[in-house]
Structure 1
Amino acid sequence: MNTITTFAGFTLGLAAVFGIAVATGAAIGPEPNEPGHDSTTHRNSSTSDDAGPADLPGGMLATDHGYTLRLDTPQTIAAPNVPVRFRILNRDGAPVTHYLRSHDKDLHLIVVRRDMAAFQHVHPTLEGDGHWNALLDLTRAGDYRVFADFTPEGGDNLTLGADLRVGGVYDPRPLPAAASTTTVGGYTVTMDGDVIPGQSSKVSLSLQRDGKPVTDLQPYLGAYGHLVALRAADLAYLHIHPDGHPGDGVTPAGPGIAFQVLAPSAGDYRLFLDFQHDGVVRTAELTLTVAPSARLAALEPAHTEYDHPETAPSGHSH
C-alpha cells in the first residue's frame, strides 16, 4: 500500500508535490454555552475590516480577522519528539497572551500530514511572552498542516492554519476507502447517518468493545467525543462538537455520540474521533464520502449522446 519515495531536503521538488490548500470548508455544531462562543455553532465570524474572504473557513489562512499564526520554525527533520514553538500575533504584530478557555483548553492544536496518514490533537503550553510550546510526533516525513483553534480575549473563535515541512523519507499513502466502521485499540466505532452538503446533518458514532456497547464514556475536553473532519481535496477544516454535554442530565455516556455536521460540498472527508474510556484517550479514523445532494444534481447540465464531438451525427457539434 505504501509507495516509498525519497524526500531529500527541502527542495523545489518538494514544494511541487505538496501545494497550499486554497479551497473552502466550514464548521458548525452544537456546544455548551461558553464565554466568547455562540451556544450552537463553532465557526469563524467576522466584523473586522481585514477579515479574509467571507466564503473561506477557518484553517485556510495563516492571517485572518487581524490575527496571525506564526511558526518559529516552519521546517524541521523527522523525529519522534519535535519541539514546536509558535505565536498568535494581533493586528499590531504583538503576541496574544490572554485567551478564553474553550472545551477545557485555551488553545487546541491540530496537526495533520497532507495525505492524512498522521494526525495529532495536542494542547501546548503558553509562556508569558506569548510563545506556545508543543512536542509533536513527527516520525513520518512530509508536509503537514498546523491548525490553531482558539478564542482571543475579547474576540471571536478562530482557526488559523500554517504549513510545517518535515524532511526525511516520505511515504505518501492513498486515502483509505470510505467505510462506516473502523477499529482502534480493541474498540469498534460505527457511524450512522447521511451527510448532505450545504446543510446541517446529524450523524452518530457508536462504540463497542468486545461486542458490547460502551455506556460509560468519560468526558474529554468537556464532551464525550471530539470530532475533527478534513476535506480530502484541500484540508478544509470542520471542527464539530457533539449534541449535548456531560452533566446536562440528558446526554448519555455512550454508546452513541451524536454530532451535527455541516459539509461545505460533496467529496471525501477524513474524520478523526477522540474519545476517552478507562482513562485512555484514543483516536478513531474514518473516511466519509459525501454525495451531491439531489438539489445540486438537478442543477447540473444534462448530458446527451452528443456531448462528445466524435459521436455527434452530421449537423451537430459539441
Structure 2
Amino acid sequence: MFAFSRPTARRRALAAAGTAAALALTLAACGSSGDSSMPGMDHGTKAPTSASAQATPSMGDMPGMDHMADGNGLADAKDGYRLTSPDTSLPAGKPSGYRFTIAGPDGKPVTGFALDQTKQMHFYAVRSDLTGFQHIHPAMAADGTWTADLAELQPGSWRMFASFTPDGGSGKGEDFVLSRTVTVPGTAASTPLPAAAESTDVDGYTVTVQGKPMAGMAQPLTVTVTKDGKPVTDLQPYLDTYAHLTAFHEGNAAFAHLHPTTKVNGDHGGPELSFHAELPTAGNWRLFLQFQTGGKLHTAALTLNVG
C-alpha cells in the first residue's frame, strides 16, 4: 500500500534542492468548476496495435466499499477527517452536481482550507475504466458543503476524489486525498486501456513523455510539447505551474499527482517540462497532462507502464 500527498511548500523546497518530489494524490476543487472535463474521452494515442488488458474495477470501486483501502486516495476517511456525500448515484448524459462535505475529527463540517496551487480544493471524477476524467474546482457554501459541477457522465462506476489541506484543527497543514464512488445508471460498456505509448495528440499538440519509471524508485520524467513538429514555447501558467499531471493506476484507479520542477517564467513555458516521480506500484498508469495556451486548457491522456 502506498501513500500520496499533495506537494506542500516544504516538499517544493526539497524538490528545488534536488530531492525527488513524491507523487501526490490530489483531488480538490477550485473556486469555479469545469477546468477540465472529458466525458467519454477518446483514448486514442500513438500506441502499438496490441491493446493492454481491460481494466477491471476492484472492490474499492464499488459503492459502499469506500473503506477498503487507506493511504492511496481510495478511502473516504483518514486521521479523523471524512468525505461524506448524500449522492450515491448521478444521472447519465447530462451535467450534474456532486455534493460533499469534509467532516473533521469533531464530526463538524470543515470550512477552513489552505490554498494549494491557488485553490482550496481540487476535485477529480474518474470512471473505473479510466475513459472519463474531470478535474474541477468546486465552490463551497458557508456551511461547508461543496458542489462540484460535473459535465455529463457516461454510465458506469465513477470515483470522486477530493484533495485538500485543513487550515486549522488537528490536521492543519496536512495534505489529504479522500474519495467515494457513485453509480451512473445505464448500460456501461467497459473500454480496454490503450497500450503504453510515449506520445499522444490533443488539440493539434503532440505530448511526449520520456522516462522509464520503476516501482518504488524516484525517477525523472520529461514531457515535451510540440505542434506541427515544432517546439511549443508559449505555455501559460496553470495553477501556478506550466502543467498539471495526474495518474491513475489501472484496475483500482489509485490516484497520483505530479508537479513539474520547471521554473515558471510568464507565458513562455515549454517545450520541455521536468517532473520527479515516485510510482510505488508496478503496472499501467493512465496519465492526464493539463496545460494551457492562448487561454485554452488542453488535456492529453496516455498510458505509462511502470516496471
Q: TM-score per shorter chain, which class?
A: 0.7 to 0.9
Is residue 242 of structure 2 the alignment partner of residue 265 of structure 1? no
Unaligned runs of 5+ in 1: 1-23, 45-52, 292-318
Is residue 196 of structure 2 the alignment partner of residue 196 of structure 1? no
**2: CA distance, partners of 1:76 / 1:56:** 25
Relative to the length of structure 1, the TM-score reads: 0.75
**2: CA distance, partners of 1:236 / 1:200:** 18
1:117 is displaced (CA, Å) by: 0.4
Identity %: 37
Deviates more, 1:123-132 or 1:133-142: 133-142
Is residue 187 of structure 2 the alignment partner of residue 169 of structure 1? yes
1:72 is displaced (CA, Å) by: 2.1
Is residue 43 of structure 2 the alignment partner of residue 27 of structure 1? no
Determine if contact 1:26/1:237 at 8 Å carries over to the other structure: no
Determine if contact 1:26/1:262 at 8 Å carries over to the other structure: no
2:103 paired residue among 80, 89, 92 = 89
The amino acid of 1:117's aligned partner reads T
CA displacement, residues 124-145 of structure 1 (integer Å, 9 cap, x when unaligned): 0011000001211233111011
Relative to the length of structure 2, the TM-score reads: 0.77
CA displacement, residues 14-57 of structure 1 (integer Å, 9 cap, x when unaligned): xxxxxxxxxx344378x5727x987545658xxxxxxxx9x943
Helix, strand or coil at the partner of 2:9: coil
Helix, strand or coil at the partner of 1:183: strand
The amino acid of 2:78's aligned partner reads D
- C-alpha RMSD of the superposition: 2.4
1:289 is displaced (CA, Å) by: 0.9
Helix, strand or coil at the partner of 1:79: coil
Helix, strand or coil at the partner of 1:57: coil
**Bigger radius of gyration among the two:** 1
**2: CA distance, partners of 1:115 / 1:229:** 13
**2: CA distance, partners of 1:109 / 1:71:** 14
Change (3 A) 1:214 1:192: same
Runs of 4+ in 1 over 6 A off after TM superposition: none
Q: Which has the higher contact order (CA 8 A, sep 6+)?
A: 2
2:175 paired residue among 149, 157, 161 = 157
Is residue 225 of structure 2 the alignment partner of residue 207 of structure 1? yes
The amino acid of 1:130's aligned partner reads G
**1: CA distance, partners of 2:218 / 2:3:** 11
1:278 paired residue among 294, 297, 306 = 294
Helix, strand or coil at the partner of 2:94: strand
The amino acid of 1:90's aligned partner reads G
**2: CA distance, partners of 1:144 / 1:261:** 26
Determine if contact 1:57/1:237 at 8 Å carries over to the other structure: no
1:137 paired residue among 151, 167, 176 = 151
Corresponding residue of 1:295: none
Corresponding residue of 1:61: 75
Equivalence map 1:188-267=2 (5 Å):
188-247=206-265, 253-267=269-283
Change (3 A) 1:38 1:146: farther
Change (3 A) 1:146 1:139: closer
Helix, strand or coil at the partner of 1:104: coil
Corresponding residue of 2:113: 99
1:114 is displaced (CA, Å) by: 0.4
2:162 paired residue among 130, 138, 148 = 148
Unaligned runs of 5+ in 2: 16-20, 26-66
Corresponding residue of 2:133: 119
